[in-house]
A and B are shown apart, each in its own frame.
Chain A
Amino acid sequence: MEEKYQTYLTFSLGKENFAINVEHVEKILEVQPVTEVPKAPEYMLGVFNLRGEVIPLVDTRIKFGMEKTEVTSSTCVLVITIENENEKLKLGAMVDAVNEVVKYNNADLIPLPTVGKQNKAEFLHGVLKLNDRFVLLVNADKIFSVDEIIELRAENFELNE
């Protein structure tokens, strides 16, 4: 079994709320000047300079199947490390806002219905209810290592308030 308590960082994209395991998160930065890479998928905004390293920057909203990000004063970049096929990748994920750090117990998780329209359960660790709102716990290793756009919204999982 997993450890009893997990620590997650919650962030929002539009009206949706997500959370990522803090183990993935290395830094939180303000919006960075980015160099576009020609012919890259739309959600790959390009690359930026992180203290001498060249790091890809993802528009998380597009990646999660939403409209592209409009940069505001609360927009920020999560520098995260993911592991894919034994390879460690570092990338920046642009999000609308970073909210809080939450600890939860496995018992707090709401089970995902298995009969959703598309089965995207593999991209989530689970769902949590915080202040009456659903928070999707994203499986960063999975979602940021596949090339496709993955639509992730609470309604897609037939979660109702």
Chain B
Amino acid sequence: MADSIDQLRESFVEETKDLINELEDILLSLETDQVASELIDQIFRSIHTIKGSGGMLGFEKVLAVTHDLEDIYDRVRGGELEFSSELKEISLETIDILKVLLSSNEQIDSNEQIRFADLCRKIHLFDVILSEKVDETRPETLSAEIIQRPYITYWISFSPGNVLPAGLLHPKFLFRELMLMGNGLVFVKSGSSISVNAIEEADKKASWLMILSTREEKAVIEDVFEWVGDSSALSIRELIRGNLLAVPEAKAELEKKKGKIVEYDFDDIIGLIDPYVDKIVQETVEEHKKEKSADDGPGANGGVIKSIRVATEKVDQLMNLVSEMVTLQARLNLISEQMGDPDLQAVAEKYGSFSKQLRDNAFTISLVPFGITITRYKRMVHDLSEKLYKKIDFITEGEETVLDKKIIEQLSDPIMHILRNSIDHGIEPPDERRELGKPETGKITMKIYHQSNNVIIKIIDDGRGINIREIERIAIKKKLLDKNHTYSDYEILNMIFLPGFSSAKKVSNVSGRGVGLDVVKRNISEIRGAIDIDTEVGKNTTFTIRLPLTLSIIDGLQVHINERNFIIPLNQVSKIYTLDKLERPSDLSQMMILEGDQIPYFDLRDDFELGGTPPERREVVLVGYDQEKVALIVDSVIGENQTVLKSLGSHFKNQDFISGGTILGDGSVALVLDVNKIVTVFSKNKK
């Protein structure tokens, strides 16, 4: 029992976090937009849901902080008052507090406690002051709103399941809430006795039947039952349009039947109320017309479920199964080719194309739009620019671009850091910009788009740019560069990604925390991505992050070394050569001559200590590493491979030049190489 309460609370926390993010997003978008009434409606509904469910599950602080806010938005919705920047700030503050409350299960420390109490007081005052302001106009708008929705009488049947959380969530609370929505009659079948409106004495396991005449939408009633769990049976149906229970005869008739009514099904009740229908129809005709137009509004698409929530665990499981199937399919192909039976080959081929489709389809499930995390960036830009007295337009393009959820999560820190950097060091204060003849409001653009099998994220600010000479000076001072040597601007600029390099003149709370761009670079290469920077002094700085579409499937090049299989990510491979004789300019350096160029090389047989004698003819795979090229010497290249990448687990954390394993058609495991790590690991050993 306790479990299911916790589960409910847990799923409330999860879903509310989503709602809050949505809310935050909407609120932040209201900055520049004309405030659209649908958005206000949406804000109101979200707050209403959080309040309702939170209150029911015993989140008292959540309830307290949302209660008055809901009221305020209800009035904004009714047109009584305008959405103001003050309201926006209060709302954002509420969101912050809600986040703290949800992640701490309402156990907050004394500082947060003070913040919480302050906010509640603020909201309450805001509400009260507003009530005074709008008192005269209130009755009119109130009635106007109500007329929009006519009474509808619903038939609500509910039987709690076995796992209904007892104690905390007694069904009587649900029905008490419903009673507040209009005219209601509640029948409870508790053991053998059946009583009318005996909500308080009801047994936890009792079955319920309610006739409710209300102006609320069906969705609002459904909301009340949101947390009852899967094992309970709920049915809500429209009995008739109009306020049936306002007809005394009808009400009396229903009450009279009390004992039997629980045995009545929906149609029986329709029959029962039939004689009284005429009495209510008159009243509803007019209202019905008015409602028509509202029906085409935001509520119209309410019935279609566009997406469902699935636990990531389930998606992972699906991926594993699909990967296993792809592996089996490769085996089937192998066998059918060996057997040479045309019928079997036809089936194998068909099965192959089907499993490819299934694989592609399944992999898209684990891809999510980048936009799901964009709110946190918007929020950060909003807050930080306010704090630093800078004016910034934050523009995002391509939020719908999809990529692996794990990548999106791991991108959060690096992107935050780059944005902080742009706001703190890039964008100039408004007066400085004015003097420079730039618009006072700076611009940070974040673009996300696909490029073949990669995802590109560009973060561009139109700030002061990076002074390459200054970077050079610091790098030489820190002995990162040799002052007697000339470097390209590109090489100098890339110094900022080195550990220990921070050009910030003063240590600010914002981006000078000693955690520099080296961490950004490391974070990104951990998800097999690369970062690049470009700048024009006085004009702009652009960070470009290049990422694989997914962590779990890559195109690979299968190679053999001493009869072992390895996979090199194909997107890093630029050329393959046959090697008859290793030509080296000198015995001391780890360089080889390839098409007349000197190229650093790694003989993987030696580096991996695989032993054996290399064949006379070997092959060289030229791969890209950062902007450089390096050569990997292997015994032979087998061919392309659709690689389903699986982690080797923490037991091999020191072998990080292997990014994972994949299962080949014959069932054996091949190791997937991480080219960047190979270069860093094995170059160090040689020095």
Contacts and interface: CB of A to CB of B under 8 A. Distances in A.
Contacts of B323: 52
Contact of A91 (B320, B565, B651, B660): B651
A27 B174 CA distance: 48
B128 interface: no
Interface string B643-687: 000111111101100101111000111110000000000000000
Interface string A59-100: 000000000000000000000000010010111000000000
Nearest to A84: B650
B683 to A, nearest CB: 15
Interface size class of B (residues with CB under 8 A): 20 to 34
B478 interface: no
B280 to A, nearest CB: 60
Interface string B304-331: 0000000000000000110110010000
Given A49-B669, A52-B327, A37 B648 contact: yes
**Which of B607, B651, B654, B660: most chain A CB closer than 10 A?**
B651
Contacts of A54: 646-648, 660-663, 669
A38 B660 contact: no
Interface in B312-357: 320-321, 323-324, 327
A39 interface: yes
Contacts of B663: 49, 52, 54
Nearest to B327: A52
A36 B646 CA distance: 15
Contacts of B650: 84, 87, 89
Interface in A110-139: none
B655 A53 contact: no
Contacts of B140: none
A62 B22 CA distance: 54
A39 B653 CA distance: 11
Contacts of A56: 648-649, 651-652
B608 A39 contact: yes
Contacts of A40: 652, 654-655
Interface string B16-55: 0000000000000000000000000000000000000000
Contacts of A52: 320-321, 323-324, 327, 663
A49 B667 contact: yes
Contacts of B652: 37, 40, 44, 47, 56
A88 to B, nearest CB: 10
A84 B651 CA distance: 11
A35 interface: yes
Contacts of A87: 650
A36 B661 contact: no
Nearest to B561: A38
Given A47-B669, A53-B320, A89 B649 contact: yes
A1 B652 CA distance: 36
A89 B654 CA distance: 16
A44 B668 contact: no
Given A33-B668, A36-B564, A38-B609, A53 B651 contact: no
Contacts of B609: 38-39
Contact of A38 (B320, B647, B658, B670): B658
Contacts of A55: 649
A35 B610 contact: no
Contacts of B658: 37-38
Nearest to B646: A54
Given A54-B648, A54-B661, A56-B649, A38 B669 contact: no
A52 B670 CA distance: 12
A42 to B, nearest CB: 12
A91 B607 CA distance: 26
B671 A37 contact: yes
A47 B661 CA distance: 8
A40 to B, nearest CB: 6
B651 A89 contact: yes
Nearest to A48: B669
B668 A51 contact: no
Contact of B671 (A35, A44, A49, A53): A35
Interface in A10-61: 33, 35-40, 44, 46-49, 51-56, 58
A39 B655 contact: yes
A33 B563 CA distance: 14
B564 A35 contact: yes
Nearest to B667: A49
Contacts of A33: 667-668
Nearest to A41: B654
A51 B321 CA distance: 9
A49 B669 CA distance: 6
A46 B670 CA distance: 11
Contacts of B647: 54
Nearest to B653: A147
Interface in B536-583: 564-565
A131 B569 CA distance: 56
Contacts of B654: 39-40
A49 B648 contact: no
B306 to A, nearest CB: 32
Given A38-B610, A56-B648, A56-B649, A51 B324 contact: yes
A33 B660 CA distance: 17
A21 to B, nearest CB: 20
Nearest to A33: B668
A38 B648 CA distance: 13
A7 to B, nearest CB: 25
B655 A37 contact: yes
A51 B325 CA distance: 10
**Which of B320, B649, B662, B667: most chain A CB closer than 10 A?**
B649
Given A35-B670, A49-B663, A54-B661, A44 B320 contact: no
Nearest to B652: A37
Nearest to A87: B650
Given A47-B661, A54-B661, A35 B651 contact: no
A35 B649 contact: no
B523 to A, nearest CB: 20
A35 B655 CA distance: 14
A103 B45 CA distance: 58
A81 to B, nearest CB: 12
A84 B649 CA distance: 12
Given A35-B661, A35-B671, A53-B646, 5 more contacts: A40-B655, A54-B647, A54-B662, A84-B650, A90-B649
14 contacts: A35-B564, A37-B671, A44-B651, A44-B652, A47-B648, A47-B669, A49-B667, A52-B320, A54-B647, A54-B660, A55-B649, A58-B651, A84-B650, A89-B650
Closest 7 CB pairs of A and B: A52-B324, A38-B608, A54-B661, A35-B669, A54-B646, A56-B651, A47-B669
